[in-house]
């Protein structure tokens, strides 16, 4: 019984796209960097949605750059990058759709 389950698990993992998995992991790490920065200006609920809006407006290279700050407090360059992404029309539209205050 254990052997068929192991075979199914192996087949399921083989079907995963390694790049998609790496991108998702990087995005999750970047979320942990962006959220504390955004949380300085709003409560946790809206900050979580704002973080998602910011990451959705960011390119994958930008997300990778944000993720590099994991484990340390975001520096001034990271905070500036987050703000610049938040000012993009895509992020601003997302903020409006979720009743999140606009970044100025």
**Tens of pLDDT, residues 5-16:** 545 555 455 556
Alpha-carbon gap, residue 102 to 91, rounded angstroms: 9
Q: Report the mean per-residue pLDDT for the chain.
A: 85
> For a pLDDT cut of 70, what percent of the chain falls above it?
84
- Are 67 and 74 within 8 A, CB to CB? no
- Which residues in the chain show pLDDT less than 50? 1, 6, 11
Q: What is the pLDDT of residue 43?
A: 87
The single-letter DSSP state of residue 75 is -
Place of tokens 């606009």: 102
Alpha-carbon gap, residue 38 to 15, rounded angstroms: 36
């Amino acid at each position: 019984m254990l052997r068929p389950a192991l075979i199914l698990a192996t087949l399921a993992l083989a079907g995963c796209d390694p790049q998609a998995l790496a991108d998702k992991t990087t995005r999750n790490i970047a979320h942990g960097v962006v959220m504390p920065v955004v949380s300085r200006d709003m409560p946790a609920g809206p900050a979580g949605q704002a973080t998602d809006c910011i990451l959705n407006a960011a390119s994958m290279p930008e997300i990778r750059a944000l993720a590099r700050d994991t484990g340390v407090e975001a520096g001034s360059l990271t905070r500036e990058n987050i703000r610049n992404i938040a000012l993009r029309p895509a992020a601003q539209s997302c903020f409006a759709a979720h009743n999140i205050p606009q970044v100025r």
